Amino acid sequence: MSRRVAVLMGGWSSERDVSLVSGRECAKALIARGYDAYTIDVTRDLTALAAALTPRPDVVFNALHGRGGEDGTVQGVLELLQIPYTHSGVLASAVAMDKPTAKAVFAAAGLPLVEGRVVTRAQLAAGDPIARPFVVKPTNEGSSVGVRIVREKDNSWGEEARSWAFELSLVERFIPGRELTVAVMGNRALGVCEIRAHGTFYDYTAKYAAGGSEHLVPAPIHLRAYEEALDIGLRAHQALGCRGVSRSDLRYDDTAGEPGHLYLLEINTQPGMTPTSLVPDLARHVGIDFESLVEWIVENAACDS
């Protein structure tokens, strides 16, 4: 008999639409590989989720992104139900989703980070918390939701700061240079990709709209920097105790020449699995097609307790 796999998708976060695409693509791949896969559009209704998971599937493929699905919440439900699920467990998911907490863990592991501080909405409205240029981002959102780069002569920022949507934000020094990402699969760093956004930076649209960005795999950077980026991605994955696949985002400052300086920005424990997503691109680079990647993720599902 084929294994029964429930694919969780949708959710209620700002990344709902992306999750729906990820879920459909992964379910399609699993069916093609002979699994009895079906999708569940997750809401805040816990009773409905429990009913959709009855009869009990063999595995849950967690294709949720953002809050509720990536922050340890749904992982806790699945632990309670004792259903093996894909990607990271409760603790790693919760820590990774909270950027300041993740940075504290990364700092303890000796990973290279950008200087920054957490500020309230009122502190942002009162004036620049650090010297420009800087980046403002919500402490617990993904997919570049709410990210704002404030540059030297940005006259619109003052008014925008007074109506900022997020109570807590992480403010970091802006690092010039290039956008890199590293995919990790189990205990293996698959490769480094350079992302060249066709807009001002790698925002939500650049991530998910067709033609929003260009993915260069392998990243055309100095070999020493490439190997260091692989090491940073793997160490970040291990520092948080992630499992399955993860994706670490980095900045590479090569403005003074190569090899430049690398800075770890954050880690994603539920990377996108859409046609324009980065982890499938990096997997293909090392000979792992999309169906094989999805199957590996399912076969490595687990419960922490």
Residues with a catalytic annotation lie at: 15, 143, 208, 247, 249, 266, 268, 272
Asked if residues 293 and 183 have their Cβ atoms less than 8 Å apart, the reply is: no
CA distance 203 to 161: 19
Tokens encoding 283: 């997997």
Greatest CA separation for the chain = 63
Residue whose pair of structure tokens reads 């959102």 in the numeric block: 141
Burial class of residue 301, CB neighbours in 10 A (0-12, 13-18, 19+): buried
Q: What are phi and psi of 37, to 5 degrees?
A: -105, 140
Amino acid letter for position 273: M
**Nearest partner of 204 among 161, 149, 252, 147, judged by Cα:** 147
Asked if residues 8 and 74 have their Cβ atoms less than 8 Å apart, the reply is: yes
**Nearest partner of 11 among 1, 21, 2, judged by Cα:** 21
Tokens encoding 305: 């307790």
CA distance 16 to 12: 6
